Chain A
Amino acid sequence: MASVSMTVNGREVSGDVEGRMLLSSFLRDDLRLTGTHVGCDTSQCGACVVHVNGEAVKACTMFAVEADGAEVATIEGEANADGSLSVIQQAFQDHHGLQCGFCTSGMVMSAAALLKENPKPSETEVREYLEGNICRCTGYHNIVKAIMAASGQDVAAIAAE
């Protein structure tokens, strides 16, 4: 057992964890932040994407002890301080960028990381950036559209609804 402490969504947290505890398990099981999802065991689906020190990482592919001292941001911390949806979250709702919601936390966290790096991505850039985020429901159309809209681009011209 090792003790870890980190900041999660601005809040100081700590705990005693086994070496093998994944960051995703620490968030979900110990902190009960179940918005971070686990959709695979081969690090490919991206349902678990969170930010560690501002960078998108797969929480299922990082040990909790490696986040000791880090700033971690999860979907639960994405909304604005007053509880209203962030620009990206709002764009996902406005453009129907989610259906079952299971991939959504990871999608939003990846989108946030993308827009920080590249405030006005092209369609191709958005699609390439989402390489590690699999969605089985939406066919990606409305996800890509939502992210482009969140970046302030006019998406009205994008093919039908």
Chain B
Amino acid sequence: MYAFDIERPSTIADAVAALQGEDAQALGGGQTLIPTLKQRLAAPSKLVSLSGIGEMQGVCVGDDGAVCIGGATTHATVSREAAAHYPGLAALASHIGDPAVRNRGTIGGSLANNDPAACYPAAALASGATIVTNNREIAADDYFQGMFSTALDEGEVITEVRFPVPQAANYQKFLQPASRFALVGVFVAKYADGVRVAVTGASENGVFRWAEAEAALSANFAASALDGLTVDADGMIGDLHGSGTYRAHLVGVNTKRAVEAAS
């Protein structure tokens, strides 16, 4: 790693101020950033740790019934504390990485990083979540902008994520055998006004909504409603672990399974 200083502010305001400096970078749980730093693929001069900021911690339920998760809340905390309010989301959190990763890794870090194979982006997009930062609120539909790319500006901090709670939801993660990230993950969420389906792991453009499936499931929330529907293998990731065709196929399988598990 290159040398850097670490600051540990205790308020969002202090963190935002600390991030104004040149080459300053937020440090969430470090579960992505630290391995990146070890490879010397990033060279911040300062890391601003968010883990000591109380106002960014924990799970609560807002007045509108949405589940609000502090941006520095760990996956382990979400899996425990969201279970009663949004079980599908809690279940997703409880299958990210391994227990030690879940004890450090945070929702803000995951969404800020927007790894094309990460889990939370699927939940956020399928839930129509709102990404709250230190200076604005961003709808999930506007937030994800392709692999490792988001609507966040330099120095902007995800302080909270608000998830409207669906009537039924399920996340199906098919593991990439080595990394255990999602080779293909599908989050299906059924709301009163329709069904949303978000797919991670599969596309070269990162997480996306599968519109045809959403339409079919909104009309009939049953796995059979998906019969005959496929996603186009063009634009799907093809690598050592599976071709684009295979990934496209898994999108269909996982979506069906998610619907079956949710209904």
Q: Is B54 an interface residue (CB 8 A)?
A: no
Chain A nearest CB, measured from B1 CB (Å): 4
Chain A residue with the shortest CB-CB distance to B5: A19
Q: Known interface pairs A42-B35, A132-B100. Does A61 touch B30 (Cβ–Cβ under 8 Å)? A: yes
Q: Is A63 an interface residue (CB 8 A)?
A: yes
A46/B34 in contact, CB under 8 A: no
A76–B27 CA distance with the chains assembled, in angstroms: 29
B35/A19 in contact, CB under 8 A: no
A62/B98 in contact, CB under 8 A: no
Residues of A contacting B101 in the complex (Cβ-Cβ under 8 angstroms) = 43, 58, 61, 132
Count A-B contacts at CB 8 Å.
80
B31/A61 in contact, CB under 8 A: yes
Q: Known interface pairs A20-B1, A20-B2, A20-B3. Does A58 touch B35 (Cβ–Cβ under 8 Å)? A: no
Interface size class of B (residues with CB under 8 A): 20 to 34
B51/A110 in contact, CB under 8 A: no
Interface size class of A (residues with CB under 8 A): 20 to 34
Which of B6, B76, B103, B179 has a CB less than 8 Å from the CB of A2? B6
Residues of A contacting B179 in the complex (Cβ-Cβ under 8 angstroms) = 44
A131–B142 CA distance with the chains assembled, in angstroms: 34
A61–B36 CA distance with the chains assembled, in angstroms: 11
Question: Which B residues form the contact surface with A (CB < 8 A)?
Answer: 1-6, 8, 27, 30-31, 34-35, 37-39, 47, 49, 51, 76, 97-101, 103-104, 179-180
6 closest A-B pairs (Cβ-Cβ)? A132-B98, A131-B98, A19-B6, A20-B1, A55-B103, A56-B100
